[in-house]
């Protein structure tokens, strides 16, 4: 099963509160921090909502 490495590349100051909540729930704390999450429908949906704020790379295990 592949995983996604997601990096926060844009500040969430002034963003929509729902998008800010999604970013916090994914585990981001600071700008340029990265998290590795499973590649599933729920994660893809979250990424679609916060696409302007993140960079996504595929990581194979």
Q: Which CATH number does the domain housing residue 33 bear?
A: 3.30.1390.20
Which residues lie closer than 8 Å to 40 by C-beta, 6 or more apart?
A: none
pLDDT value, residue 1: 75
At residue 21, the 3 state secondary structure works out as helix
Confidence of residue 60 (pLDDT cuts 50, 70, 90): confident
Question: Could you list the residue range(s) of the whole structural domain that residue 36 is in?
Answer: 3-59
Q: Does 57 have pLDDT greater than 80?
A: yes
Residue 21 and residue 18: Cα distance in Å, rounded? 5
pLDDT tens digits for range 1-16: 799 999 999 999 999 9
Domain count, the chain: 1
Residue 12 and residue 51: Cα distance in Å, rounded? 12
Residue 29 and residue 33: Cα distance in Å, rounded? 7
pLDDT tens digits for range 18-50: 999 999 999 999 999 999 999 999 999 999 999
The pTM score is: 0.91
């Amino acid at each position: 099963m592949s995983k996604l490495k997601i990096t926060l590349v844009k500040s969430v100051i002034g963003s929509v509160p729902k998008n800010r909540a999604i970013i916090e729930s994914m585990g981001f704390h600071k700008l340029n921090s990265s998290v590795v999450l499973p590649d599933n429908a729920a994660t893809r949906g979250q990424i679609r909502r916060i696409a302007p704020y993140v960079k996504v790379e595929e990581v194979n295990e």
